[in-house]
Chains A and B, each alone.
Chain A
Protein backbone atom coordinates (compact mmCIF):
# COMPACT_ATOMS: atom_id res chain seq x y z
CA UNK A 1 0.00 0.00 0.00
CA UNK A 2 2.74 2.38 1.08
CA UNK A 3 4.83 1.23 -1.90
CA UNK A 4 1.94 1.92 -4.35
CA UNK A 5 1.45 5.39 -2.95
CA UNK A 6 5.15 6.12 -3.40
CA UNK A 7 4.98 4.98 -7.03
CA UNK A 8 1.93 7.15 -7.63
CA UNK A 9 3.63 10.21 -6.15
CA UNK A 10 6.76 9.54 -8.21
CA UNK A 11 4.68 9.17 -11.37
CA UNK A 12 2.90 12.42 -10.62
CA UNK A 13 6.18 14.28 -10.06
CA UNK A 14 7.61 12.77 -13.26
CA UNK A 15 4.52 13.84 -15.24
CA UNK A 16 4.75 17.32 -13.80
CA UNK A 17 8.44 17.45 -14.69
CA UNK A 18 7.75 16.24 -18.23
CA UNK A 19 5.01 18.82 -18.61
CA UNK A 20 7.27 21.62 -17.28
CA UNK A 21 10.05 20.52 -19.61
CA UNK A 22 7.64 20.46 -22.56
CA UNK A 23 6.26 23.88 -21.63
CA UNK A 24 9.65 25.54 -21.33
CA UNK A 25 10.97 23.89 -24.52
CA UNK A 26 7.85 25.06 -26.32
CA UNK A 27 8.20 28.57 -24.92
CA UNK A 28 11.88 28.65 -25.90
CA UNK A 29 10.87 27.56 -29.41
CA UNK A 30 8.42 30.45 -29.66
CA UNK A 31 10.98 32.94 -28.36
CA UNK A 32 13.36 31.63 -31.03
CA UNK A 33 10.74 32.09 -33.78
CA UNK A 34 10.11 35.68 -32.64
CA UNK A 35 13.84 36.45 -32.40
CA UNK A 36 14.63 34.94 -35.82
CA UNK A 37 11.75 36.89 -37.37
CA UNK A 38 12.83 40.16 -35.72
CA UNK A 39 16.44 39.52 -36.73
CA UNK A 40 15.31 39.24 -40.35
CA UNK A 41 13.86 42.78 -40.22
CA UNK A 42 14.89 44.27 -43.58
CA UNK A 43 17.50 47.00 -43.62
CA UNK A 44 16.58 50.40 -45.13
CA UNK A 45 18.34 49.58 -48.41
CA UNK A 46 16.42 46.34 -48.96
CA UNK A 47 13.97 46.87 -51.83
CA UNK A 48 11.79 44.10 -50.34
CA UNK A 49 10.77 46.38 -47.46
CA UNK A 50 7.70 47.69 -49.26
CA UNK A 51 6.51 44.14 -50.03
CA UNK A 52 6.99 43.12 -46.38
CA UNK A 53 5.15 46.25 -45.19
CA UNK A 54 2.33 45.41 -47.60
CA UNK A 55 1.92 42.00 -45.90
CA UNK A 56 2.18 43.73 -42.49
CA UNK A 57 -0.59 46.23 -43.32
CA UNK A 58 -2.77 43.43 -44.70
CA UNK A 59 -2.33 41.58 -41.41
CA UNK A 60 -3.14 44.71 -39.36
CA UNK A 61 -6.23 45.27 -41.53
CA UNK A 62 -7.40 41.68 -41.23
CA UNK A 63 -6.69 41.30 -37.50
CA UNK A 64 -7.35 44.86 -36.40
CA UNK A 65 -9.88 46.59 -38.56
CA UNK A 66 -12.05 43.59 -39.36
CA UNK A 67 -12.21 42.58 -35.66
CA UNK A 68 -13.04 46.09 -34.49
CA UNK A 69 -16.82 45.61 -34.75
CA UNK A 70 -16.75 42.49 -32.54
CA UNK A 71 -14.42 44.19 -30.04
CA UNK A 72 -16.65 47.27 -29.80
CA UNK A 73 -19.81 45.22 -29.21
CA UNK A 74 -18.19 42.92 -26.64
CA UNK A 75 -16.46 45.77 -24.79
CA UNK A 76 -19.67 47.86 -24.63
CA UNK A 77 -21.51 44.82 -23.23
CA UNK A 78 -18.75 44.08 -20.69
CA UNK A 79 -18.66 47.73 -19.59
CA UNK A 80 -22.43 47.92 -19.06
CA UNK A 81 -22.64 44.60 -17.21
CA UNK A 82 -19.66 45.42 -15.02
CA UNK A 83 -20.97 48.83 -13.96
CA UNK A 84 -24.46 47.46 -13.38
CA UNK A 85 -23.02 44.77 -11.11
CA UNK A 86 -20.80 47.22 -9.19
CA UNK A 87 -23.61 49.72 -8.63
CA UNK A 88 -26.04 47.03 -7.61
CA UNK A 89 -23.47 45.85 -5.06
CA UNK A 90 -22.24 49.20 -3.69
CA UNK A 91 -25.10 51.55 -4.55
CA UNK A 92 -24.75 55.05 -5.98
CA UNK A 93 -22.56 57.75 -4.44
CA UNK A 94 -19.49 55.53 -4.57
CA UNK A 95 -18.03 56.75 -7.85
CA UNK A 96 -14.39 56.36 -6.81
CA UNK A 97 -14.94 52.66 -6.16
CA UNK A 98 -16.69 52.29 -9.53
CA UNK A 99 -13.66 53.89 -11.15
CA UNK A 100 -11.23 51.69 -9.23
CA UNK A 101 -13.02 48.46 -10.11
CA UNK A 102 -13.27 49.50 -13.74
CA UNK A 103 -9.51 50.20 -13.86
CA UNK A 104 -8.65 46.99 -12.01
CA UNK A 105 -10.90 44.75 -14.03
CA UNK A 106 -11.00 46.26 -17.51
CA UNK A 107 -7.67 48.05 -17.95
CA UNK A 108 -5.46 45.73 -15.95
CA UNK A 109 -7.04 42.41 -16.87
CA UNK A 110 -10.03 42.03 -19.16
CA UNK A 111 -8.97 44.50 -21.86
CA UNK A 112 -5.77 42.76 -22.97
CA UNK A 113 -6.99 39.27 -22.10
CA UNK A 114 -10.34 39.28 -23.91
CA UNK A 115 -8.88 41.12 -26.89
CA UNK A 116 -6.19 38.45 -27.19
CA UNK A 117 -8.79 35.66 -26.92
CA UNK A 118 -10.92 37.27 -29.66
CA UNK A 119 -7.84 37.69 -31.88
CA UNK A 120 -6.85 34.05 -31.28
CA UNK A 121 -10.32 32.86 -32.26
CA UNK A 122 -10.44 35.01 -35.36
CA UNK A 123 -6.91 35.53 -36.66
CA UNK A 124 -4.93 32.80 -34.91
CA UNK A 125 -6.90 30.07 -36.60
CA UNK A 126 -6.70 31.94 -39.92
CA UNK A 127 -2.89 32.24 -39.69
CA UNK A 128 -2.37 28.56 -38.79
CA UNK A 129 -4.75 27.42 -41.54
CA UNK A 130 -3.32 29.74 -44.18
CA UNK A 131 0.28 28.75 -43.49
CA UNK A 132 -0.71 25.07 -43.30
CA UNK A 133 -2.34 25.25 -46.74
CA UNK A 134 0.65 27.10 -48.13
CA UNK A 135 2.98 24.43 -46.74
CA UNK A 136 0.98 21.54 -48.20
CA UNK A 137 0.63 23.21 -51.60
CA UNK A 138 4.37 23.83 -51.80
CA UNK A 139 3.82 27.61 -51.81
CA UNK A 140 6.32 28.21 -49.01
CA UNK A 141 8.96 26.29 -50.98
CA UNK A 142 8.01 28.31 -54.02
CA UNK A 143 8.56 31.56 -52.09
CA UNK A 144 11.90 30.30 -50.79
CA UNK A 145 12.92 29.28 -54.32
CA UNK A 146 12.62 32.97 -55.25
CA UNK A 147 15.33 33.76 -52.70
CA UNK A 148 12.77 35.16 -50.24
CA UNK A 149 13.26 33.91 -46.66
CA UNK A 150 10.01 32.69 -45.10
CA UNK A 151 10.95 34.27 -41.75
CA UNK A 152 11.13 37.67 -43.43
CA UNK A 153 8.17 37.49 -45.80
CA UNK A 154 5.73 35.23 -43.95
CA UNK A 155 6.48 35.28 -40.22
CA UNK A 156 7.82 38.79 -39.47
CA UNK A 157 4.87 40.76 -40.92
CA UNK A 158 2.34 38.40 -39.34
CA UNK A 159 3.92 38.60 -35.88
CA UNK A 160 4.32 42.37 -35.97
CA UNK A 161 0.92 42.87 -37.62
CA UNK A 162 -0.91 40.82 -34.99
CA UNK A 163 1.01 42.48 -32.12
CA UNK A 164 0.17 45.95 -33.48
CA UNK A 165 -3.47 44.99 -33.97
CA UNK A 166 -3.79 43.52 -30.45
CA UNK A 167 -2.36 46.73 -28.91
CA UNK A 168 -4.75 48.94 -30.90
CA UNK A 169 -7.75 46.68 -30.25
CA UNK A 170 -6.98 46.63 -26.52
CA UNK A 171 -7.06 50.43 -26.47
CA UNK A 172 -10.43 50.36 -28.25
CA UNK A 173 -11.70 47.66 -25.88
CA UNK A 174 -10.82 49.72 -22.83
CA UNK A 175 -12.28 52.95 -24.23
CA UNK A 176 -15.57 51.30 -25.27
CA UNK A 177 -15.88 49.43 -21.96
CA UNK A 178 -15.68 52.76 -20.15
CA UNK A 179 -18.18 54.30 -22.59
CA UNK A 180 -20.55 51.35 -22.08
CA UNK A 181 -20.15 51.65 -18.31
CA UNK A 182 -20.84 55.37 -18.40
CA UNK A 183 -23.94 54.91 -20.57
CA UNK A 184 -25.52 52.45 -18.17
CA UNK A 185 -24.45 54.48 -15.11
CA UNK A 186 -25.84 57.72 -16.49
CA UNK A 187 -29.07 56.26 -17.88
CA UNK A 188 -29.78 53.81 -15.06
CA UNK A 189 -28.45 55.66 -12.02
CA UNK A 190 -28.10 59.28 -13.21
CA UNK A 191 -24.36 59.42 -12.43
CA UNK A 192 -22.83 62.51 -13.99
CA UNK A 193 -20.01 62.43 -16.55
CA UNK A 194 -17.66 64.41 -14.25
CA UNK A 195 -18.14 62.11 -11.27
CA UNK A 196 -17.81 58.95 -13.36
CA UNK A 197 -14.62 60.01 -15.12
CA UNK A 198 -13.11 61.55 -11.99
CA UNK A 199 -13.48 58.13 -10.37
CA UNK A 200 -11.61 56.48 -13.25
CA UNK A 201 -8.89 59.12 -13.69
CA UNK A 202 -8.13 59.20 -9.94
CA UNK A 203 -7.58 55.41 -9.94
CA UNK A 204 -5.67 55.17 -13.22
CA UNK A 205 -1.86 55.17 -13.09
CA UNK A 206 0.85 55.09 -15.73
CA UNK A 207 1.83 51.63 -14.47
CA UNK A 208 -1.71 50.36 -15.13
CA UNK A 209 -1.64 51.66 -18.69
CA UNK A 210 1.92 50.41 -19.28
CA UNK A 211 1.09 46.94 -17.92
CA UNK A 212 -1.93 46.81 -20.19
CA UNK A 213 0.16 47.74 -23.24
CA UNK A 214 3.00 45.36 -22.31
CA UNK A 215 0.47 42.55 -21.93
CA UNK A 216 -1.05 43.29 -25.34
CA UNK A 217 2.37 43.40 -26.97
CA UNK A 218 3.45 40.05 -25.50
CA UNK A 219 0.08 38.42 -26.15
CA UNK A 220 0.22 39.56 -29.79
CA UNK A 221 3.79 38.37 -30.30
CA UNK A 222 3.34 34.96 -28.67
CA UNK A 223 -0.10 34.08 -30.00
CA UNK A 224 0.93 34.84 -33.57
CA UNK A 225 4.23 32.98 -33.17
CA UNK A 226 2.38 29.93 -31.78
CA UNK A 227 -0.08 29.94 -34.69
CA UNK A 228 2.70 30.48 -37.26
CA UNK A 229 4.64 27.56 -35.80
CA UNK A 230 1.64 25.25 -35.91
CA UNK A 231 0.90 26.25 -39.51
CA UNK A 232 4.49 25.70 -40.61
CA UNK A 233 4.63 22.33 -38.82
CA UNK A 234 1.91 20.86 -41.04
CA UNK A 235 3.21 17.82 -42.93
CA UNK A 236 1.77 16.53 -46.18
CA UNK A 237 -1.81 15.69 -45.30
CA UNK A 238 -4.73 18.14 -45.42
CA UNK A 239 -6.19 16.54 -42.28
CA UNK A 240 -3.29 18.09 -40.37
CA UNK A 241 -4.53 21.62 -41.14
CA UNK A 242 -7.54 21.70 -38.76
CA UNK A 243 -5.41 19.90 -36.19
CA UNK A 244 -2.75 22.59 -36.52
CA UNK A 245 -5.38 25.32 -36.19
CA UNK A 246 -6.86 23.84 -33.02
CA UNK A 247 -3.39 23.19 -31.55
CA UNK A 248 -2.43 26.78 -32.35
CA UNK A 249 -5.56 28.10 -30.62
CA UNK A 250 -5.15 25.95 -27.51
CA UNK A 251 -1.45 26.75 -27.21
CA UNK A 252 -2.08 30.47 -27.71
CA UNK A 253 -4.86 30.61 -25.09
CA UNK A 254 -2.72 28.73 -22.61
CA UNK A 255 0.27 31.01 -23.27
CA UNK A 256 -1.83 34.15 -22.99
CA UNK A 257 -3.10 33.15 -19.55
CA UNK A 258 0.38 32.18 -18.33
CA UNK A 259 1.87 35.44 -19.65
CA UNK A 260 -1.00 37.37 -18.09
CA UNK A 261 -0.12 35.90 -14.70
CA UNK A 262 3.59 36.60 -15.11
CA UNK A 263 3.11 40.23 -16.23
CA UNK A 264 0.48 40.88 -13.54
CA UNK A 265 2.80 39.65 -10.78
CA UNK A 266 5.69 41.60 -12.28
CA UNK A 267 3.63 44.81 -12.36
CA UNK A 268 2.46 44.26 -8.75
CA UNK A 269 6.09 43.75 -7.68
CA UNK A 270 7.09 46.88 -9.61
CA UNK A 271 4.27 48.86 -8.02
CA UNK A 272 5.17 47.75 -4.48
CA UNK A 273 8.78 48.89 -4.99
Chain B
Protein backbone atom coordinates (compact mmCIF):
# COMPACT_ATOMS: atom_id res chain seq x y z
CA UNK B 1 0.00 0.00 0.00
CA UNK B 2 1.12 3.58 -0.72
CA UNK B 3 1.91 6.01 2.08
CA UNK B 4 -0.13 9.19 1.82
CA UNK B 5 1.19 10.63 5.06
CA UNK B 6 4.37 9.56 6.80
CA UNK B 7 5.25 11.05 10.17
CA UNK B 8 8.69 10.14 11.44
CA UNK B 9 9.71 10.79 15.04
CA UNK B 10 7.40 13.77 15.42
CA UNK B 11 6.62 15.31 18.78
CA UNK B 12 3.83 17.76 19.53
CA UNK B 13 5.85 19.68 22.09
CA UNK B 14 9.52 20.00 22.89
CA UNK B 15 9.13 17.71 25.89
CA UNK B 16 6.81 15.02 24.48
CA UNK B 17 8.19 11.76 23.15
CA UNK B 18 8.65 11.25 19.43
CA UNK B 19 6.02 9.22 17.54
CA UNK B 20 6.14 7.58 14.15
CA UNK B 21 3.13 6.60 12.05
CA UNK B 22 2.20 6.14 8.42
CA UNK B 23 -1.17 6.58 6.75
CA UNK B 24 -1.93 4.56 3.70
CA UNK B 25 -4.27 4.83 0.75
CA UNK B 26 -7.85 4.04 1.74
CA UNK B 27 -7.13 3.98 5.46
CA UNK B 28 -9.19 5.36 8.30
CA UNK B 29 -7.27 6.66 11.30
CA UNK B 30 -7.93 8.10 14.72
CA UNK B 31 -5.16 10.26 16.18
CA UNK B 32 -5.86 10.33 19.89
CA UNK B 33 -4.35 13.22 21.81
CA UNK B 34 -4.42 14.09 25.48
CA UNK B 35 -6.10 17.47 24.98
CA UNK B 36 -7.92 19.52 22.32
CA UNK B 37 -4.96 21.92 21.92
CA UNK B 38 -2.79 18.96 20.92
CA UNK B 39 -5.43 17.91 18.38
CA UNK B 40 -5.26 21.40 16.87
CA UNK B 41 -1.43 21.31 16.81
CA UNK B 42 -1.44 17.87 15.20
CA UNK B 43 -3.91 19.02 12.54
CA UNK B 44 -1.67 21.99 11.72
CA UNK B 45 1.32 19.66 11.46
CA UNK B 46 -0.53 17.31 9.13
CA UNK B 47 -1.32 20.09 6.65
CA UNK B 48 2.12 21.67 6.85
CA UNK B 49 0.99 24.85 8.62
CA UNK B 50 3.56 24.24 11.37
CA UNK B 51 6.89 22.48 11.35
CA UNK B 52 7.37 19.65 13.87
CA UNK B 53 9.73 20.23 16.82
CA UNK B 54 11.55 17.11 15.76
CA UNK B 55 11.32 14.56 12.94
CA UNK B 56 9.53 15.10 9.66
CA UNK B 57 6.13 14.85 8.00
CA UNK B 58 5.92 13.64 4.43
CA UNK B 59 2.68 14.53 2.62
CA UNK B 60 2.05 12.86 -0.74
CA UNK B 61 5.79 12.12 -0.96
CA UNK B 62 6.95 15.67 -0.10
CA UNK B 63 8.64 16.67 3.14
CA UNK B 64 6.63 19.61 4.52
CA UNK B 65 9.75 21.18 6.06
CA UNK B 66 11.57 21.60 2.76
CA UNK B 67 8.94 22.16 0.07
CA UNK B 68 7.93 25.67 -0.99
CA UNK B 69 4.72 27.43 0.08
CA UNK B 70 3.42 27.14 -3.49
CA UNK B 71 3.90 23.36 -3.46
CA UNK B 72 2.26 23.18 -0.03
CA UNK B 73 -0.76 25.06 -1.36
CA UNK B 74 -1.04 22.60 -4.23
CA UNK B 75 -0.90 19.67 -1.80
CA UNK B 76 -3.50 21.28 0.50
CA UNK B 77 -5.98 21.31 -2.37
CA UNK B 78 -6.04 17.52 -2.05
CA UNK B 79 -6.74 17.68 1.68
CA UNK B 80 -10.04 18.71 3.24
CA UNK B 81 -9.87 20.00 6.79
CA UNK B 82 -12.93 20.26 9.04
CA UNK B 83 -11.78 22.45 11.92
CA UNK B 84 -13.03 22.15 15.49
CA UNK B 85 -15.38 25.15 15.24
CA UNK B 86 -15.79 25.06 11.48
CA UNK B 87 -12.94 27.44 10.60
CA UNK B 88 -15.34 29.73 8.75
CA UNK B 89 -14.32 33.20 7.57
CA UNK B 90 -16.38 35.66 9.62
CA UNK B 91 -16.86 38.28 6.88
CA UNK B 92 -18.16 35.75 4.34
CA UNK B 93 -21.72 34.43 4.38
CA UNK B 94 -22.37 30.73 4.94
CA UNK B 95 -22.82 30.14 1.22
CA UNK B 96 -19.66 32.09 0.33
CA UNK B 97 -17.69 30.15 2.92
CA UNK B 98 -18.97 26.86 1.60
CA UNK B 99 -18.29 27.56 -2.04
CA UNK B 100 -15.00 29.47 -1.63
CA UNK B 101 -12.68 26.52 -2.48
CA UNK B 102 -14.93 25.42 -5.35
CA UNK B 103 -14.89 28.85 -7.01
CA UNK B 104 -11.20 29.29 -6.25
CA UNK B 105 -9.83 26.03 -7.55
CA UNK B 106 -12.39 24.58 -9.94
CA UNK B 107 -13.87 25.98 -13.13
CA UNK B 108 -17.49 25.14 -12.37
CA UNK B 109 -20.61 26.97 -13.45
CA UNK B 110 -22.81 28.69 -10.86
CA UNK B 111 -25.52 26.05 -11.30
CA UNK B 112 -23.03 23.21 -10.73
CA UNK B 113 -21.68 24.89 -7.59
CA UNK B 114 -25.24 25.55 -6.43
CA UNK B 115 -26.39 21.97 -6.84
CA UNK B 116 -23.24 20.59 -5.17
CA UNK B 117 -23.41 23.05 -2.27
CA UNK B 118 -27.12 22.67 -1.55
CA UNK B 119 -26.80 18.88 -1.88
CA UNK B 120 -23.92 18.72 0.61
CA UNK B 121 -25.57 20.98 3.20
CA UNK B 122 -28.79 18.97 2.91
CA UNK B 123 -26.92 15.70 3.27
CA UNK B 124 -25.23 16.88 6.48
CA UNK B 125 -28.51 18.21 7.88
CA UNK B 126 -27.69 21.94 7.95
CA UNK B 127 -30.68 23.84 9.31
CA UNK B 128 -29.42 27.45 9.28
CA UNK B 129 -29.80 30.18 6.68
CA UNK B 130 -27.39 30.15 3.72
CA UNK B 131 -27.06 33.92 3.59
CA UNK B 132 -26.30 34.43 7.28
CA UNK B 133 -22.87 35.42 8.48
CA UNK B 134 -21.17 32.73 10.62
CA UNK B 135 -21.68 34.88 13.72
CA UNK B 136 -25.40 34.08 13.59
CA UNK B 137 -24.89 30.31 13.62
CA UNK B 138 -24.62 27.87 16.51
CA UNK B 139 -21.35 25.98 16.99
CA UNK B 140 -22.82 22.79 15.56
CA UNK B 141 -24.12 24.67 12.50
CA UNK B 142 -20.70 26.27 11.93
CA UNK B 143 -19.10 22.87 12.31
CA UNK B 144 -21.48 21.33 9.77
CA UNK B 145 -20.68 24.09 7.24
CA UNK B 146 -16.95 23.50 7.86
CA UNK B 147 -17.37 19.76 7.30
CA UNK B 148 -19.47 20.40 4.17
CA UNK B 149 -16.76 22.73 2.82
CA UNK B 150 -14.09 20.09 3.43
CA UNK B 151 -16.18 17.38 1.76
CA UNK B 152 -17.29 19.52 -1.16
CA UNK B 153 -13.87 19.58 -2.80
CA UNK B 154 -13.90 15.74 -2.86
CA UNK B 155 -10.45 15.51 -1.24
CA UNK B 156 -8.08 12.56 -1.27
CA UNK B 157 -7.50 13.05 2.46
CA UNK B 158 -10.02 14.45 4.92
CA UNK B 159 -9.05 15.54 8.42
CA UNK B 160 -11.66 16.08 11.13
CA UNK B 161 -10.24 18.13 14.03
CA UNK B 162 -12.00 17.43 17.37
CA UNK B 163 -15.04 16.00 15.53
CA UNK B 164 -17.23 15.61 18.61
CA UNK B 165 -16.86 19.19 19.82
CA UNK B 166 -20.14 21.13 19.93
CA UNK B 167 -22.35 18.25 18.70
CA UNK B 168 -25.18 16.59 20.62
CA UNK B 169 -25.64 12.81 20.59
CA UNK B 170 -27.94 12.78 17.57
CA UNK B 171 -25.61 15.08 15.63
CA UNK B 172 -22.62 12.89 16.55
CA UNK B 173 -24.36 9.78 15.19
CA UNK B 174 -25.34 11.64 12.03
CA UNK B 175 -21.80 13.00 11.61
CA UNK B 176 -20.09 9.61 11.88
CA UNK B 177 -22.64 8.04 9.52
CA UNK B 178 -21.87 10.72 6.94
CA UNK B 179 -18.11 10.53 7.54
CA UNK B 180 -18.19 6.75 7.01
CA UNK B 181 -20.23 7.07 3.81
CA UNK B 182 -17.97 9.83 2.53
CA UNK B 183 -14.90 7.69 3.21
CA UNK B 184 -16.30 4.81 1.16
CA UNK B 185 -17.44 7.03 -1.72
CA UNK B 186 -14.00 7.41 -3.28
CA UNK B 187 -11.63 4.44 -3.39
CA UNK B 188 -8.34 5.24 -1.69
CA UNK B 189 -9.69 8.14 0.34
CA UNK B 190 -7.96 8.62 3.71
CA UNK B 191 -10.05 9.79 6.68
CA UNK B 192 -8.32 11.10 9.79
CA UNK B 193 -10.08 11.90 13.04
CA UNK B 194 -7.88 13.97 15.37
CA UNK B 195 -9.45 14.04 18.80
CA UNK B 196 -8.79 14.14 22.51
CA UNK B 197 -11.95 12.11 23.17
CA UNK B 198 -11.91 8.29 23.44
CA UNK B 199 -15.57 8.35 22.31
CA UNK B 200 -14.40 8.60 18.69
CA UNK B 201 -13.13 5.01 18.89
CA UNK B 202 -16.62 3.82 19.84
CA UNK B 203 -18.12 5.55 16.80
CA UNK B 204 -15.40 4.38 14.39
CA UNK B 205 -14.32 0.93 15.60
CA UNK B 206 -12.80 0.01 12.21
CA UNK B 207 -10.30 2.90 12.30
CA UNK B 208 -6.62 2.46 13.20
CA UNK B 209 -5.83 4.28 16.42
CA UNK B 210 -2.60 6.19 16.86
CA UNK B 211 -2.46 7.04 20.52
CA UNK B 212 -0.42 10.17 21.20
CA UNK B 213 -1.18 9.87 24.88
CA UNK B 214 0.85 6.63 25.08
CA UNK B 215 3.59 7.38 22.56
CA UNK B 216 3.10 4.30 20.34
CA UNK B 217 4.84 3.41 17.10
CA UNK B 218 2.95 1.80 14.24
**Given A141-B44, A141-B49, CB of A148 within 8 Å of CB of B101:** yes
Nearest chain-B residue to A138 (Cβ)?
B87
Cα distance, A139 to B69, chains bound together (Å): 18
- Whether, in the assembled complex, A142 has its beta carbon less than 8 Å from a beta carbon of chain B, the answer is yes
Cα distance, A50 to B102, chains bound together (Å): 12
**Given A133-B90, A139-B90, A141-B44, CB of A146 within 8 Å of CB of B101:** yes
- Whether, in the assembled complex, B186 has its beta carbon less than 8 Å from a beta carbon of chain A, the answer is no
User: Chain B contacts of A47 at CB under 8 A?
Assistant: 103-107
**A137, A141, A144, A145 — which one has the most chain B CB atoms within 10 A of its CB?**
A145
**Quick one: which of B71-108 are within 8 Å of A by CB?**
73-77, 79, 81, 83, 87-91, 100-101, 103-107
- Whether, in the assembled complex, B47 has its beta carbon less than 8 Å from a beta carbon of chain A, the answer is yes
Nearest chain-A residue to B69 (Cβ)?
A149
Min C-beta distance of A32 to chain B, whole Å: 14
Q: Please tell me which one of the listed residues A50, A130, A145 contacts residue B87 in the complex, with CB atoms under 8 A apart.
A: A145
**Quick one: which of A123-170 are within 8 Å of B by CB?**
130, 133-134, 137-139, 141-149, 153
Whether B76 pairs with A143 at a CB distance below 8 angstroms is no
User: Chain B contacts of A134 at CB under 8 A?
Assistant: 89-91
Q: Give the interface residue-count category, chain B.
A: 20 to 34
Min C-beta distance of A67 to chain B, whole Å: 19
Min C-beta distance of A92 to chain B, whole Å: 53
Q: Please tell me which one of the listed residues A138, A139, A145, A153 contacts residue B76 in the complex, with CB atoms under 8 A apart.
A: A145
**A133, A137, A141, A146 — which one has the most chain B CB atoms within 10 A of its CB?**
A146
Q: Please tell me which one of the listed residues B75, B81, B100 contacts residue A148 in the complex, with CB atoms under 8 A apart.
A: B100
**Quick one: which of B22-50 are within 8 Å of A by CB?**
44, 47, 49
Cα distance, A214 to B187, chains bound together (Å): 56
User: Chain B contacts of A149 at CB under 8 A?
Assistant: 69-70, 73
User: Chain B contacts of A137 at CB under 8 A?
Assistant: 90
Cα distance, A195 to B75, chains bound together (Å): 67
**Given A47-B103, A48-B105, A138-B83, CB of A145 within 8 Å of CB of B47:** yes
Min C-beta distance of A127 to chain B, whole Å: 12
Q: Give the interface residue-count category, chain A.
A: 20 to 34
User: Interface of chain A, helix or strand or loop or mixed?
Assistant: helix
Q: Please tell me which one of the listed residues B79, B83, B90, B103 contacts residue A51 in the complex, with CB atoms under 8 A apart.
A: B103
Whether B47 pairs with A48 at a CB distance below 8 angstroms is no
Whether B49 pairs with A144 at a CB distance below 8 angstroms is yes
User: Chain B contacts of A145 at CB under 8 A?
Assistant: 47, 49, 76, 79, 81, 83, 87
Whether A148 pairs with B73 at a CB distance below 8 angstroms is yes
Min C-beta distance of A12 to chain B, whole Å: 43
User: Chain A contacts of B153 at CB under 8 A?
Assistant: 146
User: Chain B contacts of A133 at CB under 8 A?
Assistant: 90
**B76, B83, B104, B153 — which one has the most chain A CB atoms within 10 A of its CB?**
B104
A-B CB contact pairs (8 Å), 5 listed: A47-B106, A48-B105, A142-B83, A143-B89, A147-B101
| Residues of B bordering A, CB below 8 Å | 44, 47, 49, 69-70, 73-77, 79, 81, 83, 87-91, 100-101, 103-107, 149, 153
| Residues of A bordering B, CB below 8 Å | 47-48, 50-51, 130, 133-134, 137-139, 141-149, 153
* Sample of 19 further A-B pairs with CB below 8 A, known A141-B49, A143-B100: A47-B104, A48-B105, A50-B103, A51-B103, A133-B90, A138-B87, A139-B87, A139-B89, A141-B44, A142-B83, A145-B76, A145-B81, A145-B83, A146-B149, A147-B76, A147-B77, A147-B101, A148-B100, A148-B101
